[in-house]
Amino acid sequence: MKLFVKYDFDTLCKNFVSEHLDALDISYTIHSVNEVTVNGDLNDNKYKTLTTALQKYGIEILTNQKSTLVERIKHAIDCMLKDEKSKHLKLSSYLADTLNYSYTYLSTVFSENTYTSIENYAILRKVDLAKEFMCNTNLTLTEIAYRLNYSSVAHLSGQFKKTTGLTPSAFINIMKKKKQYKIQ
């Protein structure tokens, strides 16, 4: 028997980190998927135990300030794309206001650490979200374009094809055939 599972990555990570912090009796506050404040001091033994436990599952505690900022930029972009109020804002202004750094600095740090631009990353995330909408909802391309703040369906389609090599319609057809195949 096959089970198909859909999960919320944010909830999964928060719960996973919480369980490990609780097991070590560490007082903490989780602010977001990638930001946790440890209340009080964390001794070396607990830090090493936590680091080792999390590394087994591909979770790394970032100690490099620029790597941390890159993760905060990525998280802020994800939040912006999912928030109805924020998605209409200009990306550069939103990031500068949210992270309290100039956009020029954020852009430089991001590109130095990821070898791509913030704008390109945002486009990739928007295309990923478009794929999720196409696979998991009954939204039309017009509705998806509106939700992701594209100026038109043509704009969404152009970025989608440039990124994936497929038109949105071709992608939808492939996913429908894939689902039919899995059902059989």
Separation of alpha carbons 126 and 150, rounded Å: 9
Percent of the chain exceeding pLDDT 70 equals: 98
pLDDT of 155 = 95
Calculate helix-pair angle for 65-82, 91-99, nearest 10 degrees: 130
Q: What is the pTM for the complete model shown?
A: 0.71
104 DSSP assignment: H
In sequence order, what are the residues at sequence separation of 6 or more whose Cβ sits closer than 8 angstroms to the Cβ of residue 42? 26, 50
| CA distance linking residue 50 with residue 53, whole number of Å | 5
Q: Which residue has the higher pLDDT, 121 or 14?
A: 121
- What's the pLDDT score for residue 127? 95
DSSP per position, 25-77: T--EEEEETTEEEESS---HHHHHHHHHHHHTTT------HHHHHHHHHHHHH
Rounded to whole angstroms, the Cα distance separating 65 from 121 reads 20
- pLDDT score of 95 more than 90: yes
* CA distances (Å), origin 33, targets 7, 19, 45, 79, 135: 14, 14, 24, 11, 24
Mean pLDDT of 131-158: 91
Question: What pLDDT digit, counting tens, does each position of 121-137 carry?
Answer: 999 999 999 999 998 88
